Structure 1
């Protein structure tokens, strides 16, 4: 019996040695480093927002129509009923979710570029504000990250202030996408929605308007500092009517994350873009970034370039229900001067040359 046990033990020892030897002979698996995994998470976080912006609304609309032709038609019908019931919510203050605004995915989104929010002055919760955001860029990454999420700590830097990033009203007519945007505190950029926030939601509200809009996106390319502002005075009139202070905001680096083909004014390409913009509300930019797995290939992933969003000094605006054109022009001039001053003060700190200037069109 002892002989059998000894022999069996020897076999086991031999088997263990053989297994260990086999493992040692296996080729090593090249596991990615933690830094590479983190970078891929950051890329995925940014890419999901780009894809959301480009196709989510249309895709969900088609999916909803398809569901009506399947056994899932009840789900589609219930959502349509909810959509009808909830149709006016975007224009009545929205429906923000602090849980969504604090998702971890937004921190990865922030760190990809990275994006930073720079506070220069204290904002009083007893006042309402209209932030003018410049420049538009292709996807307004800085605007979304800073004001549509809590990734850069807006609420901690500006306690008592609730940001409401304003975007195209058409986005709120698209199923699912509208709910996604509403959860971030995003609202339609129309008179009714902004009036409601500034007049019926108390104080401590900051409506963020990308003043240049789609027209400005056509001039967004690395090395250019152009803002479409000279004839954009509607936001100033709105500020006067509501007594909301104007705050200039400039994002250094917003134009650097994509390369775009710029058509000259008067060319067939630019005219086509403008006609499309008038019909659809946004401009079809011909741009490219890098690939998902390599910065040396073309793709829709933006280049990893730092975006620094500087929130300037508020301009105190009186409440005038029916401002004259002269009063509108006066505060518009003050705003333009304040924006240029902000740009000049911080441009060299964030990578621009001393000779670079801000072109106001």
Structure 2
């Protein structure tokens, strides 16, 4: 069923949040710009946030460690294996084990981090925004807990990581992300889970929902890395989304009776570039291992994210009945609602965000 045209468009610039944000009520934190049914003018939401050189260097340094760490461990481990002494090999193995398995801070640290100065700098670095229409923000708050869908994955779903802090800070919804279990034990990269992340398995997600938490899932997963627009769209006029047949969220939502909030992350695939073979070998290995194997790079050819605008659009809540054993027809119906809502969000907001020449295609 086609949705009626929106009456209002809203934009919340997270990077413009004042320092006294956390002394304000949740309602006062909704620092939104609003326009009528005509929407925001084309490219009017494309300005980059102001950021000092020191702040920019902080973000670059942190991500060089977090994103470069796994690469260093992989290639360093290979070098040690081939040319290292036995003492060097044992020392490297101990280091890798400590980095992968040491205890992580708990929920209290998560809450502190999402309100930290570093998070504010991250919002500036990516000029992070929320956009939505009508009362979607209010209905999301009223219908919590819910499951959020947030493609595309890209090399790393930065928009979804930023949304953990932004949704908690600005919308007042208790929100966590969901990541592959391998992330929790990948040296350096695992520190990104400190924002509040649960394993992306049915048990963990259902537990979080029972606790009253909203959970954000990247529905395209590994496929979202290997089916990016830059590799498959030669003309450059398509935004490819690998969720045509990925119905796991619809199935999970039906089994638990949990509402769904559809979302889409503009700019996420531009943060890093990546390379993988055209034969599908690395993709097959990644799917089998439930871990991603490919080469990637950003600023200066390093594992540092590019400073591009990242915006999350979200739509109206999709109500889902509780069905313990849903049929394929019921799953397909909910999945098609997610697909339609994702396409609608993209089309409604793409012009104002500078993506007006793109068409969304599901693969």
Please report the TM-score for the alignment, with normalisation by the length of structure 1. 0.70
| Structure 1 counterpart of 2:174, from 148, 162, 171 | 162
Between the two proteins, the alignment pairs up a number of residues equal to: 292
Aligned position for 1:307: 310
Aligned position for 1:98: 111
Deviation, structure 1 residue 113 = 2.5
Query: Where in structure 1 are there 5+ consecutive unaligned residues?
Result: 1-33, 71-75, 264-268, 292-297
Aligned position for 1:194: 205
| Structure 1 counterpart of 2:320, from 310, 317, 320 | 317
Aligned position for 1:139: 156
How many Å separate the matches in 2 of 1:182 and 1:42?
16
Residues 148 and 214, structure 2, Cα contact 8 Å, conserved in 1:
yes
Largest Rg, 1 or 2:
1
Aligned position for 1:17: none
Aligned position for 2:241: 227
How many Å separate the matches in 2 of 1:252 and 1:177?
23
Residues 45 and 108, structure 1, Cα contact 8 Å, conserved in 2:
no
RCO greater where, 1 or 2, for CA within 8 Å and sep 6 or more?
A: 2
Aligned position for 2:64: 47
Aligned position for 2:4: none
Q: Per-residue displacement from partner, 1:74-126 (whole Å, max 9, x unpaired)?
A: xx7xx97x86xx9xx99xxx776211222322222222222223354121355
Aligned position for 1:111: 124
Aligned position for 1:183: 194
Alignment map for 1:1-361 (pairs within 5 Å): 35-51=52-68, 66=91, 97-120=110-133, 121=136, 122=138, 123-125=140-142, 127-147=144-164, 150=165, 153-159=166-172, 161-173=173-185, 180-199=191-210, 201=211, 203=212, 205-221=213-229, 223=236, 224-261=238-275, 269-291=278-300, 298-353=301-356, 355-361=357-363
How many Å separate the matches in 2 of 1:68 and 1:253?
37
How many Å separate the matches in 1 of 2:76 and 2:254?
40
| Paired residue secondary structure (1:207) | strand
Aligned position for 1:8: none
| Paired residue secondary structure (1:97) | helix
How many Å separate the matches in 2 of 1:114 and 1:56?
31
When residues 101 and 48 of structure 1 are mapped into structure 2, their CA distance, relative to the original with a 3 A threshold, is farther
Deviation, structure 1 residue 281 = 1.5
Query: Where in structure 2 are there 5+ consecutive unaligned residues?
Result: 1-50, 81-87, 231-235
Q: Per-residue displacement from partner, 1:231-271 (whole Å, max 9, x unpaired)?
A: 111110100111111111111111122233465xxxxx332
How many Å separate the matches in 2 of 1:246 and 1:54?
35
Q: Per-residue displacement from partner, 1:204-240 (whole Å, max 9, x unpaired)?
A: x211111001111112355451111111111101001
Q: Per-residue displacement from partner, 1:134-183 (whole Å, max 9, x unpaired)?
A: 11111111111221xx2xx3224322x111110111223457865x4553
